[in-house]
Amino acid sequence: MDPISAVLERVLEEVRPLDAGEVANYIPQLATADPDQLALAVVGPRGRVRSVGDDRVQFTIQSISKPFVLALALEERGLDAVLDHVGAEPSGEPFNAISLEDITGRPVNPMVNAGAIATTSLIEGTDVDDRTGRIVATLSAFAGRSLWIDESVYASESATGDRNRALAHLLRSHGIFEGPVDDTVESYFRQCSVLVSVRDLAVMSATLAFGGVNPVTGARVVSETSARHVLSVMSSCGMYDFSGEWLLRVGVPAKSGVSGGLLAVAPSQFGVAAFSPRLDEHGNSVRASAVVRTLSESFGMHLLDTHEGLGAPGVHVQANQGGGLRVTLGGELGFAGTERVAAVLRDLVGSASAGTPVIVDARELGRVHPGALSALRAEFDDMPEGFQLTQ
Amino acid sequence: MDPISAVLERVLEEVRPLDAGEVANYIPQLATADPDQLALAVVGPRGRVRSVGDDRVQFTIQSISKPFVLALALEERGLDAVLDHVGAEPSGEPFNAISLEDITGRPVNPMVNAGAIATTSLIEGTDVDDRTGRIVATLSAFAGRSLWIDESVYASESATGDRNRALAHLLRSHGIFEGPVDDTVESYFRQCSVLVSVRDLAVMSATLAFGGVNPVTGARVVSETSARHVLSVMSSCGMYDFSGEWLLRVGVPAKSGVSGGLLAVAPSQFGVAAFSPRLDEHGNSVRASAVVRTLSESFGMHLLDTHEGLGAPGVHVQANQGGGLRVTLGGELGFAGTERVAAVLRDLVGSASAGTPVIVDARELGRVHPGALSALRAEFDDMPEGFQLTQ
Amino acid sequence: MDPISAVLERVLEEVRPLDAGEVANYIPQLATADPDQLALAVVGPRGRVRSVGDDRVQFTIQSISKPFVLALALEERGLDAVLDHVGAEPSGEPFNAISLEDITGRPVNPMVNAGAIATTSLIEGTDVDDRTGRIVATLSAFAGRSLWIDESVYASESATGDRNRALAHLLRSHGIFEGPVDDTVESYFRQCSVLVSVRDLAVMSATLAFGGVNPVTGARVVSETSARHVLSVMSSCGMYDFSGEWLLRVGVPAKSGVSGGLLAVAPSQFGVAAFSPRLDEHGNSVRASAVVRTLSESFGMHLLDTHEGLGAPGVHVQANQGGGLRVTLGGELGFAGTERVAAVLRDLVGSASAGTPVIVDARELGRVHPGALSALRAEFDDMPEGFQLTQ
Amino acid sequence: MDPISAVLERVLEEVRPLDAGEVANYIPQLATADPDQLALAVVGPRGRVRSVGDDRVQFTIQSISKPFVLALALEERGLDAVLDHVGAEPSGEPFNAISLEDITGRPVNPMVNAGAIATTSLIEGTDVDDRTGRIVATLSAFAGRSLWIDESVYASESATGDRNRALAHLLRSHGIFEGPVDDTVESYFRQCSVLVSVRDLAVMSATLAFGGVNPVTGARVVSETSARHVLSVMSSCGMYDFSGEWLLRVGVPAKSGVSGGLLAVAPSQFGVAAFSPRLDEHGNSVRASAVVRTLSESFGMHLLDTHEGLGAPGVHVQANQGGGLRVTLGGELGFAGTERVAAVLRDLVGSASAGTPVIVDARELGRVHPGALSALRAEFDDMPEGFQLTQ
């Protein structure tokens, strides 16, 4: 076992004794899950998947499909059109609450069922099969392999889906969508019935973590903007009526599903997924939540953690052959980084003899925020003659 | 004008034409504010305060006091004790909604009035003056100067504070606090009446951005953990019933006040504050919100942005005098960084001749997440003889 | 014109100038109603129908069907079984509010749409036609003539009935009913589309007023108990979120429909119906409400009015041929009446010479409440010898 | 024991075995009540008080004060002014729910605490003592004896009254009242602490039953209109969130209190009160509710019962000495009665020889509804010559 997997294994064993919670039973297929199953997977920037426990067990994705279908809707329609049909406010309410805005009937957010159904209704498609096809293709691209629908779970979802049908009829009564109710709800039931393993979910998570590019396949699945929008919504609404406390205590965008899956994202760092069927009173997996919480603490995943040098480029100062100095900037340049670069330059003003040519080479910079670059450029107005910025 | 201030000035002029919204009028002192006032301030990691516009105008802090009094409560009581008295869930409700949990009567979060009053009740103090003294001292430490109460605003808040008194009585009826109602609400009215400028707010914001250390005075005001907890709550609940959409579109922990102030935090990067009295229907300043939104877009403040090299240490490889190699790690080591370091080491295994001693010097690392370090150490089990980690 | 019709005509002209409100437009067929139509009908204990204004205009019964289908459900299932599926509490909410009890999902009362759908689901029937047949037969028996469905209104209700379908799915998701959703909602849409005139409604109302016996046809339609239960529910919930103020100001069990009909019941006295299409913000016809209110004031319809001699039988004292006295009781004997009879008897004890035989003949009494009769019988224990009660 | 008391005694023994429910414990004084106490009293039209069980036990009136203070407010201010400050809609919510209308802040009805506090604020008074004096005087007039406040219960109510103080502050924040909060809530706590026995409550009930005239003292306490308004509000809102089912199953205006009292009114017939401290989940006394329900069933108290001859006057036809006929009308003349009188007259037209003078003497009529009288007069236009109406 590789060293990182060993770390994951230790985390898994730490939470294994937790046996609180109940397996979901609203459809028979979920109720038959082995409650003791437990798995964890992590995918880093190079796309290597590490997984431990019952990492080959497949289960239906259920609500974890919601952020990915949202990503597809954002790609197809754009943010403003999506927000015309579904809000982005956490509601403090359970996943199956009705949760429509008073007058508009707009569901409060895409992570509650009503909002997810509204989101699914936005996906293009000539019929259920066509729409479902697009959705499954997107989920597969996020996972880096072809995913399949569990037809018996789908049949059961459809047969017992009165509450979701009710939500769909309410949405249509408010004009949130217009086509046949069945087209939308059957598509929704099918998207919930896609089979995944914890490894799939970790890759899907990592694709969000790295700005929409699947680190395993290298393919761009959605735009960086769409990925950011999805992570934002997951941050505020992903854990139902525990979302606020989750952000406080664990601090990662996450999404749980009733089959026991949980996916969490450490943006720019890695994707995580855990799986264990027993659920707490919010509908979140007890052990999967504990796994992610432990990881967050020991691996520094909290979104609101401070990070050294965030947005500050590496600064390398070399003597030039011609007697001048060459300052090479590398990495990311954010606003705070500008201030740090300016400080280095001012030090050089003080230490170098007057007139020494100083070339600041910004050509190696990666991500540069436009405001930061303006500020950096403006710094040169104050610099003595001889200081030049090369972009 | 320094170059960064010039950038800020341009942002200010961009939003100045916005004239929607209404000045708050629930107490006469607020209604007299000049609706055209507009100011912006930014404080970076070195504590330099840049401000433009009406940056010397003082106004009462109002609800922006809430996160800072929360920070004090967290310092005094710890997270669990605070959460016994006030939740951390966004409610999707307006700031003055009653917003108590059904059975416990616990206010849903510390950013709505009921929750803020519960938070204030947690602050130690033998009486109103003593408690207020502690609160004002904390606000002052965050701001880096002694702040004062506007006594006429306070008197007016107290005289018209029926709704807040109602909330306090409700809280006490649920046992959320036990002392005299007046002690708590008068302390609360006083904390809301502290006078600040946009520069003060920016310093307060920066103190949260840099893990509880005021970058102007260099003093630690609260622990890094408390600062993170406060930022988490601001992220999910800081902008009332616009918090979700704010996180989606702007992506920064923020807190607004009815006098027109708005404070936003780019963790590890800088603190921002803006001020303009006209409010939108959520009670957030129209132009201050626009200023922060513009800054977020051009300066890369969004929490869910991807950042290059987050948690990856700088890796510097040098030939040793003794023929071996020295690999120096600097900066922060997170989980994803471990993977990057391991990749460099594996490259060295391939390129260096067998048996070459390789010293990996981790003594220059700054923040190291424990899980990451375990994983890094474990990597050496796989390495050829000669690879050593120096901590 | 007969004198009572002349009185009704005056009432009609009094309210005719009212032109506030809007014709319902949620389906096109309702929107085409002539807003100026106005009609009134009254049916007394002998079944004579007096009507004035547009009394031959037919309109769909809409929500006024609810109390009559409730009556049928009560007949078929009994009160307790009905209350297992739908509550009897006013909600203070609009007619189309979701209004389900938190845990059970039981609709709050049979007069809101959710509750009416639950009620319809209780009616026996092998399919929609069978169930609808039973419902229309009951409505016809209440009206004293064969009623028909307006098929174009029905088709339109069905085509636009998303909200009601949503409610039905919610009910089924809570186990309030089990069969196909379509069977129930189509039956409901059909019952709402039955055509009536104001004269029909007045006869239906009178049938409730006289304990379930249609005073025109003389047929018993439902039991007295069912009629009383329906009137009780109409009293507390019949006028949506204006029910309380209606009971306060007008004081009669009533039910309104979105097509402009309004039916009101003066129990034991008469049935009233009025019709005018413009509705107020509660969904009640503006002019029909005003007509009933005026009638209630001038005709003494308020349920909480005091009535002289209520429950007190007529007492007729005659000298017997044999020298004794004969006391004949007629009418209704309630508790208060017992006290009045006892007072008369005590007077006789005082005035008649000792030993005079007194025969109290209770054989002519109509309605006798059992407690009252016990109390009356017990009075004879105290009476001097010679007093006898003949039942 | 008199025969009616014997009937009452039997009812009492029937419910005595019920031992469900809990004694209220929100203040210590209530918690000390003997849970086995049980009493019942009835007052009929002649003012005789019959009582059985623990009929001398005094307890604090608590919420049963609400309808009587409402009666006083209606007398002082009139219905419209009262409804400006408090609504008349049942809410389906518990007694201590906040229950304010969304925008106006008007409490939904005078029977929930918020509405009762608003009602108390309407009572004139220069200070707490003055206002309390007026209230206690009114309660005493309803009871027919001087009532007193239990000062220790009052002190305890005041000391623990946070929730009610909260409601009062909310009301004042909405402008529902303007004076000092303490003046209103202390008056309210005092009115709740008035000591009564079940006999007092029965007399108070009877005063409402007989149109505002105390049948024991013969004094008019409030107008018939005010009494009717109070009974209307009790009918729709008197039993908290059980009001609808109470009206359905029991059918009498009623009001319960947390100390175990329950008062019920059979309008025009009698007043009832029962007492037993154990409460159900709605806050209504278990055994007192059962007592009233049993009485209602056996004594015909249900408001929606049909009553023979309601509003039909007695008609007495005599041959005149002069060869004509004299028709004497006695009792009450309602609309339905007009129809009955007209039927008798038409019979006479058929049976008497043409031209026979018929004098209809209406001078003995008691209550005459104006519309009914118009209709009766108009009948004479159709009658043959010789028919005369003498008023």
Residue keyed to tokens 């969004």: B302
Q: What are phi and psi of B60, to 5 degrees?
A: -80, 145
Least confident piece of the model among A114-128, B339-353, C214-228? B339-353
Q: For residue B196, how far is the Cα from the chain centroid?
A: 17
Identify the closest residue of chain D to B99 by CA–CA distance: D98
D306 with C209: Cβ contact below 8 A: yes
D82 vs A160: which has the higher pLDDT: D82
What is the reported pLDDT for B386? 80
Identify the closest residue of chain D to B167 by CA–CA distance: D166
Nearest to C89 among D244, D267, D377 (CB): D244
Identify the closest residue of chain A to C173 by CA–CA distance: A162
Stated pTM of the model: 0.92
Helix, strand, or coil here: B265? strand
A188 to chain B, closest Cα gap in Å: 24
C98 reaches A (C-beta below 8 A): yes
B181 reaches D (C-beta below 8 A): yes
Would you place residue B29 in the very low, low, confident or very high pLDDT band (cuts 50, 70, 90)? Answer: confident
C:39-58 residues touching chain D, CB 8 A cutoff: 42, 44-46, 48
Residue keyed to tokens 């504070």: B161
Q: Which residues of A carry out catalysis?
A: 63, 66, 188, 240, 258
Residues paired with D43 in a beta bridge: D49, D271
C89 to chain D, closest Cα gap in Å: 4
Identify the closest residue of chain A to B373 by CA–CA distance: A299
Chains D and B touch, contact meaning at least 3 pairs of CB atoms under 8 angstroms apart: yes
What is the reported pLDDT for C286? 97
What is the reported pLDDT for B42? 95
Mutation pick from C99, C103, C250, C269 vs chain D, by most beta carbons of D within 10 Å, is C269
What is the reported pLDDT for C82? 98
Least confident piece of the model among A21-25, B65-69, B123-127, B340-344? B340-344
C166 with A163: Cβ contact below 8 A: no
Contact partners for chain D, using 3 or more CB pairs closer than 8 A, are B, C
Give me the tens of pLDDT residue by residue for chain C, a chain 391 residues long.
777 888 899 999 999 999 999 999 888 889 999 999 999 999 988 899 999 999 999 999 999 999 999 999 999 999 999 999 999 999 877 777 888 887 889 999 999 999 999 999 999 999 999 999 999 999 999 999 999 999 999 999 999 999 999 999 999 999 999 999 999 999 999 999 999 999 999 999 999 999 999 999 999 999 999 999 999 999 999 998 899 999 999 999 999 999 999 999 999 889 999 999 999 999 999 999 999 999 998 888 899 988 877 777 777 777 777 778 888 887 788 877 787 788 888 888 777 777 788 888 888 887 888 778 888 887 887 788 788 888 7
What percent of chain A is modeled with pLDDT above 70? 99
Residues paired with D42 in a beta bridge: D50, D272
Would you place residue B46 in the very low, low, confident or very high pLDDT band (cuts 50, 70, 90)? Answer: confident
A:308-347 residues touching chain B, CB 8 A cutoff: 308-311, 314, 331-332, 334-336, 338-340, 343
C32 to chain D, closest Cα gap in Å: 33
Q: Which residues of chain D lie closer than 8 angstroms to B167, CB-CB?
A: 166
List D43, D86, D188, D272, catalytic entry: D188
Q: Which residues of chain A lie closer than 8 angstroms to C172, CB-CB?
A: 162
What is the reported pLDDT for B380? 82
A207-232: pLDDT as tens digits: 999 999 999 999 999 999 999 999 99
Asked if the model's pLDDT at residue B351 lies above 80, the reply is no
Chains D and A touch, contact meaning at least 3 pairs of CB atoms under 8 angstroms apart: no
Q: Which residues of chain D lie closer than 8 angstroms to C110, CB-CB?
A: none
A:242-261 residues touching chain B, CB 8 A cutoff: 242-245, 247-248, 251, 253
Nearest to D6 among C267, C298, C378 (CB): C378
Asked if the model's pLDDT at residue B113 lies above 80, the reply is yes
Structure tokens at B329: 């790690």
Mutation pick from C305, C338, C377 vs chain D, by most beta carbons of D within 10 Å, is C305
A172 with C181: Cβ contact below 8 A: no
A95 to chain C, closest Cα gap in Å: 15
A299 with B335: Cβ contact below 8 A: yes
Identify the closest residue of chain B to D180 by CA–CA distance: B162
Asked if the model's pLDDT at residue A335 lies above 90, the reply is no
A166 with C170: Cβ contact below 8 A: yes
Identify the closest residue of chain C to A176 by CA–CA distance: C162
C-alpha count within 13 angstroms, C-beta hemisphere, residue D147 = 34
A38: left (phi over 0), alpha (psi -120 to 50) or beta: beta
Asked if the model's pLDDT at residue A303 lies above 80, the reply is yes
C:138-177 residues touching chain D, CB 8 A cutoff: none
As averages over each run of 10 residues, the pLDDT of chain D (391 residues) reads 84 96 90 96 92 97 98 98 96 79 90 96 96 98 98 94 96 94 97 98 97 97 98 94 95 96 94 97 95 89 83 75 81 79 81 79 82 81 81 79
D349 reaches C (C-beta below 8 A): no
Question: What are the residues whose beta carbons fall under 8 Å from the beta carbon of A378, sequence distance 6 or more?
Answer: B3, B4, B6, B7
A170 with C181: Cβ contact below 8 A: no
Nearest to D3 among C243, C310, C378 (CB): C378
Tell me whether residue C63 is one of the annotated catalytic residues: yes
B375 with A244: Cβ contact below 8 A: no
D229 reaches C (C-beta below 8 A): yes
A166 to chain C, closest Cα gap in Å: 4
Q: Which residues of chain A lie closer than 8 angstroms to B339, CB-CB?
A: 4, 44-46, 48
C268 with D336: Cβ contact below 8 A: yes
Q: Which residues of chain D lie closer than 8 angstroms to B172, CB-CB?
A: 162
What is the reported pLDDT for D327? 86
Mutation pick from A5, A216, A225, A269 vs chain B, by most beta carbons of B within 10 Å, is A269
Would you place residue B366 in the very low, low, confident or very high pLDDT band (cuts 50, 70, 90)? Answer: confident
C207 reaches D (C-beta below 8 A): no
Asked if the model's pLDDT at residue A234 lies above 80, the reply is yes
Domain definitions of chain C by residue range: 3-299, 314-390
C170 with A172: Cβ contact below 8 A: no
CB B102 within 8 A of CB B291: no
A375 with B243: Cβ contact below 8 A: no
> Superfamily assignment of A314-390 in CATH?
STAS domain (3.30.750.24)
Nearest to A306 among B224, B229, B306 (CB): B224
Helix, strand, or coil here: A50? strand
Q: Reduce the secondary structure of chain D to three states and give it as a string.
A: CCHHHHHHHHHHHHHCCCCCCEECCCCHHHHCCCCCCCEEEEECCCCCEEEEECCCCCEECHHHHHHHHHHHHHHHHCHHHHHHHCCCCCCCCCCCCCCECCCCCCECCCCCHHHHHHHHHHCCCCCHHHHHHHHHHHHHHHHCCCCCECHHHHHHHHHCCHHHHHHHHHHHHCCCCCCCHHHHHHHHHHHHCEEECHHHHHHHHHHHHCCCECCCCCCECCCHHHHHHHHHHHHHHCCHHHHHHHHHHCCCCEEECCCCEEEEEECCCEEEEEECCEECCCCCEHHHHHHHHHHHHHHCCCCCCCCCCCCCCEEEEEECCCCCEEEEEEEEECHHHHHHHHHHHHHHHHHCCCCCCEEEECCCEEEECHHHHHHHHHHHHHCCCCEEEEC
Q: For domain C3-299, give the fold.
A: Beta-lactamase (3.40.710)
Same fold, B3-299 and B314-390: no
Nearest to A239 by CA among A205, A264, A271: A264
A318 vs D106: which has the higher pLDDT: D106
Give me the mean pLDDT over the B81-103 stretch.
87
What is the reported pLDDT for B369? 81
Chains A and C touch, contact meaning at least 3 pairs of CB atoms under 8 angstroms apart: yes
Q: What are phi and psi of A48, to 5 degrees?
A: -85, 125
Tell me whether residue D63 is one of the annotated catalytic residues: yes
Nearest to A311 by CA among B221, C90, D207, B306: B306
CB B348 within 8 A of CB B317: yes
Give me the mean pLDDT over the A175-181 stretch.
94
A307 with B2: Cβ contact below 8 A: no
A17-54: pLDDT as tens digits: 999 999 998 888 899 999 999 999 999 888 999 999 99
Identify the closest residue of chain D to C110 by CA–CA distance: D244
